[in-house]
A and B are shown apart, each in its own frame.
Chain A
Amino acid sequence: MGERVNRRRHRYRWREIGASAGFLLPALAVFGVFTFYPLVRSVWLSFHANDLLGRPVRFVGLDQYTKFFEEPELRRVLLTTALFAILTVLPTLLIGLFLALVLQTRVRGIGVFRTVMATPFAFSAASAAVVFDAFYSPSVGVFNGILHNLGIPQVDWLTSPSVALPSLALVIIWRDIGYAMLVCSAGLQSIPDQLFEAARIDGAGYLTLLRKIILPLLTPTMFFLLVVGTIGSLQTFGEINILTGGGPDGATTTLVYNLYQSAFAFGVSDYGLASAQAVILLFLVMGVTAVQFTVLQRKVFYS
Chain B
Amino acid sequence: MLESTLKKISILSAAAKYDVSCSSSGSKRSTPSSGVGNGALSGICHSFTEDGRCISLLKILFSNACKYDCAYCINRKSNDIERATFNIQELTDLVMGLYKRNYIEGLFLSSAVFNNPDYTMEYLVRVAKDLREKYRFGGYIHLKAIPGASALLIHQAGLYADRCSVNIEVPSSKSLAYLAPDKNFKAIFQPMNYLAERKLEYSAGKPSKYTPHFLPAGQTTQMIIGASGESDLDILKLSSSLYQKQKLKRVYFSGYIPLNNDKRLPAITVAPPLVRENRLYQADWLMRFYQFSYDEILDDSNPHLDLQIDPKMGWALRHPEVFPLDINTADYEMILRIPGIGVRSAKLIVSGRRHSRITLAHLRKLGVALNRAKYFIYDPDLPRSLQLVYPEQIKMNLIAAPKKNQNQISFLPSLVS
- Are both chains from one complex? no
Residues of B at the A interface (CB closer than 8 Å) are none
Residues of A at the B interface (CB closer than 8 Å) are none
